[in-house]
């Protein structure tokens, strides 16, 4: 990154500023923050190669018509099932899901399905479910995840409804620009 880009990147500036204030208050806190930030970046980099490889392959091999058929406006239950499967068989933090969701939208997937995919990725990934049941107990895991999936299903449709057609078109346009 060049200096100009760093200055333009507001989140980075805010982060550096907080880090400075924190370090002045207590230098060990600043060092600890940097250490855990680099640990987080490293653990993310581990899942970056397969995710971006899959995104690239998805982009060249899956035609827009196929994605519309599988996850588009008229995909119905099939679209929901596919969104769920993509979300639950995922690995890594939610940020990893953003670029995948971006490609889905770019290829014409329905907004509600993509939101359902993001929510499933966030809460109900299989590895998390296993880990959750061994720590928090099976009953808690089943009760909370069944509730979540129902709320997410309804919620993703409500979210979609709250967008006007114009807003939704603008969102798809924005994503297409991002995914270029």
Partner 1 sequence: MDISTIILYILALVLLIVSFIKDRKKTKMGIKKGWMAFKKILPILIPLFLIVGIILTVISPDMIKFALGENSGVIGVFIGLIVGSISFMPPFVTYPLGVELLEKGAGYPQVAAFVTTLMAVGIVYFTAETKFFGTKSAILRNGLGFIASLIVALVVWGVM
Residues 109-138 that bind partner 1 (CB under 8 A): 115, 118-119, 122-123, 125-128, 131-132, 135-136
Q: Which of residues 32 and 64 has its CB atom nearest to partner 1 in the complex?
A: 32
The alpha carbon of residue 40 and the mean position of all alpha carbons in its chain are separated, in whole angstroms, by 16
Which one of the spans 36-44, 68-76, 77-85 is the region binding partner 1 (CB under 8 A)? Answer: 36-44
> Can you tell me which of 40, 66, 169, 176 binds partner 1, judged by CB under 8 A?
40
Which residues ranging from 143 to 162 are in contact with partner 1 (CB under 8 A)? 143-144, 147-148, 151-152, 155-156, 158-159, 162
Q: How far is the CB of 75 from partner 1 (least distance, A)?
A: 20
Rounded-to-integer distance, Cα 180 and Cα 174, Å: 10
Q: How many CA atoms lie within 13 A of 134 on its CB side?
A: 5
Q: Which of residues 37 and 76 has its CB atom nearest to partner 1 in the complex?
A: 37
Give the containing element (helix H, strand E) for 3.
helix 3-8
113 CB contacts (<8 Å, ≥6 apart)?
A: 71, 75, 79, 80, 82, 83, 104, 156
Under the binding rule (CB under 8 A), the answer on residue 90 touching partner 1 is yes
């Amino acid at each position: 990154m060049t200096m100009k880009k760093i200055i333009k990147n507001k989140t980075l500036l805010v982060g550096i500023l907080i880090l400075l204030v924190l370090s002045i208050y207590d230098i060990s806190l600043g060092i600890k923050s940097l250490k855990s930030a680099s640990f987080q970046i490293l653990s993310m980099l581990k899942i970056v190669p397969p995710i971006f490889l899959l995104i690239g392959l998805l982009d060249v091999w899956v035609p827009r018509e196929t994605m519309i058929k599988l996850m588009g406006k008229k995909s119905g239950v099939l679209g929901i099932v596919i969104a769920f499967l993509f979300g639950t068989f995922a690995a890594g933090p939610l940020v990893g899901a953003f670029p995948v969701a971006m490609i889905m939208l770019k290829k014409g997937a329905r907004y509600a399905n993509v939101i359902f995919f993001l929510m499933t990725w966030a809460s109900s990934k299989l590895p998390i479910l296993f880990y959750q049941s061994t720590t928090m107990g099976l009953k808690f895991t089943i009760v909370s995840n069944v509730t979540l999936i129902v709320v997410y299903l309804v919620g993703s449709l409500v979210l979609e409804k709250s967008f006007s057609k114009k807003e939704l078109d603008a969102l798809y346009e924005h994503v297409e620009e991002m995914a270029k």
